[in-house]
Chain A
Amino acid sequence: MTSPFTPLLESLTRQRGVRASLIVSESDGLVVDANLRFGQDGERVAALAASMYRKARLSATAAHLGAVAFLQLDAERGRICAVGGRGELVIVVVADPAANVGLIRVELLKALETLA
Chain B
Amino acid sequence: MSDDIRRWSDELARDPSSLVFLQLSEALRRQGQVEMALKIALRGLERHQRNADAHDLVARIAVDRRDFQRAFDEWETVLRLAPQHVGAMKGLGYVSFQQGRFDDAEKYLAKAAAGGAGAAVTNALETVRRSSGSFGEASLPAEENGSAPSTGSRGADLNDLFADLLLDDGQTALLLDASGYVMAGVYLDGDARDVSQDVGAQLSGISEEVRRSTRHLDIGAWKSITFETHAAVVAMAPSADDTLVVVAASRATPLGLLRRLLDRCAERAGDWLAHGGGGRQ
Contact = CB atoms under 8 A, between A and B. Distances in A.
Interface of A: 28, 44-45, 48-49, 51-52, 54-56, 58-60, 62-80, 94, 102, 105
B229 A66 contact: yes
A102 B257 CA distance: 13
Given A62-B66, A64-B189, 10 more contacts: A48-B212, A55-B32, A60-B203, A60-B227, A63-B195, A63-B198, A65-B199, A66-B231, A72-B227, A76-B223
Contact of B227 (A54, A56, A79, A102): A56
A64 B190 CA distance: 11
B234 interface: yes
A49 B232 contact: no
B210, B219, B222, B223 pick with most chain A CB within 10 angstroms:
B219
A68 B221 contact: no
Contacts of B225: 56, 71-74
27 contacts: A44-B216, A45-B217, A48-B212, A48-B216, A51-B213, A59-B205, A62-B202, A63-B195, A63-B199, A64-B195, A65-B231, A65-B232, A65-B248, A66-B232, A68-B227, A69-B227, A69-B229, A71-B225, A71-B227, A73-B214, A75-B219, A75-B220, A76-B219, A78-B219, A79-B219, A80-B213, A80-B219
Contacts of A102: 256
A94 B217 CA distance: 10
Nearest to B226: A72
Contacts of A28: 2
B230 interface: yes
Contact of A73 (B213, B230, B231): B213
A63 B203 contact: yes
Interface in B216-251: 216-232, 234, 248
Contacts of B229: 60, 65-69
B219 A63 contact: no
Interface SS, B side: mixed
Nearest to B246: A63
A80 B212 CA distance: 14
B206 interface: yes
A59 B203 CA distance: 6
A74 B222 contact: yes
A65 B226 CA distance: 13
B206 A55 contact: yes
A60 B216 contact: no
A62 B140 CA distance: 35
B10 interface: no
Contact of A58 (B32, B199, B232): B32
Nearest to B2: A28
Nearest to A96: B219
A113 to B, nearest CB: 15
A58 B256 CA distance: 24
Give the top 8 A-B pairs by smallest Cβ distance, nearest first: A76-B220, A66-B230, A78-B219, A77-B220, A55-B209, A63-B202, A66-B231, A48-B213
Contacts of A63: 195, 198-199, 202-203
B224 A74 contact: yes
Nearest to A79: B219
Contacts of B220: 75-78
Nearest to B189: A64
